[in-house]
Amino acid sequence: ATPVSIMTATGRGAQAGVLIKNAEALERFARVDILIVDKTGTLTAGKPALVAVLPEAGHDEADVLRLAASLERGSEHPLAEAIVQGAEARNVTPEDATDFEAVTGKGVKGRVGGRDVALGNVALLADLGLDSTQFTATANERRDQGETVMFVVVDGRIAGLVAVADPIKPTTADAIRELHAQGFRIVMATGDNERTARAVASRIGIDEIRADVLPEDKARIVAELQAEGHRVAMAGDGVNDAPALARADVGIAMGTGADVAIESAGITLVKGDLNGIVRARRLAEMTMRNIR
């Protein structure tokens, strides 16, 4: 590569908030054919809000929310923030929790006011030996709106559901269309439920999804596609995306995301806007053309 063309490209990128780590990242990005995108914080705003608390018969709405928020004060997950802020907005005051434990990709556990409380997804319920089939219809109604449903377990029984919504970034749908036109095959990877993922994906024109994935699975999905001969870029914002960003031919971090994600990336999008990927691809192609 001629250093001048690379410098021109990285300079132009930087002006537009697309930070390219080095020449290698740019050269590799020109050859990428599959782009994997994380959902939360990458396609969506990453600022989820509590939209519903659905107590099970015999349980009080405020009580279910209080127990959930009491636990989530110990978590740094965006979903936790949504629940804590949702409680605050509804004048529900959390209590102190003890024995707090975060279960990666599944939820949180602990004790609140002498009760065993857990909050999370179906995988967490399975770990606790609980069956959620009787709640499936209610949960699916929310998931079909693109909402994330979490189950609140109190002393070994499901006490209610909480639903959280994270709006799709206004720039996402157009950027996805452009990226498809640039020849990328696009795969959404998310720790979220398949149904929720499908609802979000269909609204922005993504037809390939990998849902219910654990953080280590994201890196494995990258590796599997590479083993099939693909050049893979991965875009994500979270701590849980860092291994996949590092594994990818090119990692793309949202500048609005976690520091560890940014450190693992070859390209950082300062504004966290997917149009930055469209721009990076144009710059990469221009550079490669100049070289030949």
**CB 230 within 8 Å of CB 34:** yes
Q: Which is nearer to Mg ion, 105 or 110 (CB)?
A: 105
Q: Clarify whether 212 is annotated catalytic.
A: no
* Residue 132, contacted partner among Mg ion, ligand ADP, none, CB below 5-8 A by kind: none
**CB 218 within 8 Å of CB 189:** yes
- Longest CA span, the chain: 71
Amino acid of residue 96: D
CA distance 88 to 70: 11
Q: Which is nearer to Mg ion, 112 or 222 (CB)?
A: 222
Give min distance, CB of 36 to Mg ion, in A.
12
| Residue closest to ligand ADP, measured at CB | 191
Give min distance, CB of 115 to ligand ADP, in A.
17
Q: Which helix (H) or strand (E) covers residue 61, if one does?
A: helix 61-72
Chain contacts with ligand ADP (rule: CB under 6 A): 38-40, 72, 75, 77, 79-80, 105-108, 119-121, 148, 150, 190-192, 215, 238, 240
DSSP for 222-276 reads: HHHHHHTT--EEEEE-SGGGHHHHHHSSEEEEETTS-HHHHHT-SEEETT--THH
Give min distance, CB of 93 to Mg ion, in A.
29
**Which member of 33, 38, 63, 116 is catalytic?**
38
Nearest partner of 172 among 128, 203, 217, judged by Cα? 203
Q: Which is nearer to ligand ADP, 12 or 47 (CB)?
A: 47
Q: Which is nearer to ligand ADP, 13 or 78 (CB)?
A: 78
**Full strand arrangement of the beta sheet holding 157-165:** 49-55, 157-165, 148-154, 115-120, 107-112, 97-103
Q: Which is nearer to ligand ADP, 131 or 183 (CB)?
A: 131
Angle between helix axes 275-291 and 3-15 (nearest 10 degrees) is 160
**CB 155 within 8 Å of CB 111:** no
CA distance 289 to 197: 37
Report the SS3 class of residue 274: coil
Give min distance, CB of 215 to ligand ADP, in A.
6
Chain contacts with Mg ion (rule: CB under 5 A): 38, 40-41, 237-238
Q: Parallel, antiparallel, or unpaired for β 185-189 and 208-210? A: parallel
Give min distance, CB of 52 to ligand ADP, in A.
15
- Report the catalytic residues: 38
